[in-house]
Structures are given as structure tokens and as C-alpha cells.
């Protein structure tokens, strides 16, 4: 196995947390590859795959989904694009494990990304809604690891850092 981890999340709202994850993975000897699934905002620094790359994989554009003025349509497009792009990147041998960060909508996207990858690829979802009834059992698979992101709504604090550091170590160990 390898140590290349694909990190997926909304950099417009979780840039600090996603950047922290990448830093922890790199400090632990891994390679962090980043995918932005934001719709409206932009990350502070460029990601390996931008929101434009993601939405293009879904066959549309950021302008088109913004013009629809429907958050559900936007998230469905981003989820479809992220899943298709992640599957292609994995087929091309570019990463060994995936770590997706999200709240309720981000978790839905995360589960789509995980479902697009083959059995046995380490799949870790750090979520504010892990283990809640919001996640139907049929959306989960035996090889998806859910990690509760207890501090996820309060910025990059000590509780948040602990959850993210544990997730980074876990996915690296599995990859």
C-alpha cells in the first residue's frame, strides 16, 4: 500500500481544517492531495483539484449550478462530480486512501465519493453527523470508517484538531 491520501471538502467554509489535515498527513510522512467541493467561495490556496474540475466531471459548470439558485442541485452536482473524479483518480493510481470532511450535506457527498471507490480502498469520513439517524444504514458500507467531528462547528480548536489528527493517522495507517 501507499501513503497518498486524497482529502475532500468544502474549502470555502473549512479551509483551516482541511489545510490542517493535509499538514498532519505530511508531517506523518504521507502525501496529501486535495479536492475542493465548494460552490460559492474559494480556498485560500490552490487545491490539486478545484471546484471547477469537480463540477466539470459532473458535466456542468459552477456558473450553471449557481444560476439554478438551488442548494440541493448544487450539492448533487458536486457529489456526482467528486465521486466520478475520485473514481478516475483512483483508477489512474493517484491515491491510496480518501479522507472526506463534512457536516450533514458534506457527509452525503462523502458517502457518494466512498461508494464510487472499490472495496478495500481506505475510506474515512470525518463528520459532524457520524452515527446519527440522519445517515440511513443503506448509505454505509463495511469499509467506510466514520469519525465523529465533535468540534467541527466551532473552528480549528483543540477538540477539532484531536479528531482530525486521529483521522489522518488512521487513514495513513490503513493506506
What pLDDT score does 133 carry? Answer: 64
Q: How many CA atoms lie within 13 A of 43 on its CB side?
A: 23
Q: Is the pLDDT of residue 146 over 90?
A: no
- Domains of the chain, start order: 4-174 (3.40.50.12020)
Q: Is the pLDDT of residue 141 over 70?
A: no
Task: In the chain, count H helices and then E strands.
Answer: 6, 5
Q: How confident is the model at residue 148 (pLDDT cuts 50, 70, 90)?
A: confident
Q: How confident is the model at residue 167 (pLDDT cuts 50, 70, 90)?
A: very high
Q: How confident is the model at residue 56 (pLDDT cuts 50, 70, 90)?
A: very high
Q: Is the pLDDT of residue 28 over 80?
A: yes
Report the distance separating Cα 147 and Cα 131, nearest Å: 9
Amino acid at each position: 500500500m501507499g501513503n497518498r491520501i486524497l482529502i475532500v471538502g468544502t474549502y470555502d467554509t473549512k479551509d483551516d481544517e482541511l489545510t490542517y489535515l493535509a499538514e498532519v498527513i505530511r508531517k506523518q510522512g504521507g502525501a496529501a492531495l486535495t479536492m475542493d467541493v465548494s460552490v460559492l467561495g474559494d480556498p485560500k490556496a490552490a487545491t490539486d483539484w478545484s471546484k471547477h474540475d469537480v463540477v466539470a466531471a459532473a458535466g456542468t459548470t459552477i456558473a450553471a449550478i449557481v444560476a439554478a439558485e438551488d442548494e440541493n442541485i448544487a450539492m448533487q452536482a458536486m457529489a456526482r462530480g467528486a465521486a466520478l473524479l475520485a473514481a478516475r483518480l483512483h483508477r489512474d493510481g493517484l491515491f491510496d486512501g480518501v479522507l472526506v470532511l463534512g457536516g450533514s450535506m458534506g457527509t452525503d457527498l462523502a458517502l457518494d465519493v466512498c461508494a464510487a471507490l472499490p472495496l478495500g480502498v481506505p475510506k474515512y469520513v470525518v463528520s459532524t453527523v457520524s452515527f446519527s439517524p440522519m445517515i440511513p444504514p443503506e448509505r454505509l458500507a463495511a469499509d467506510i470508517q466514520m469519525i465523529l467531528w465533535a468540534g467541527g462547528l466551532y473552528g480549528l480548536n483543540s477538540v477539532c484538531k484531536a479528531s482530525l489528527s486521529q483521522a489522518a493517522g488512521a487513514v495513513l495507517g490503513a493506506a
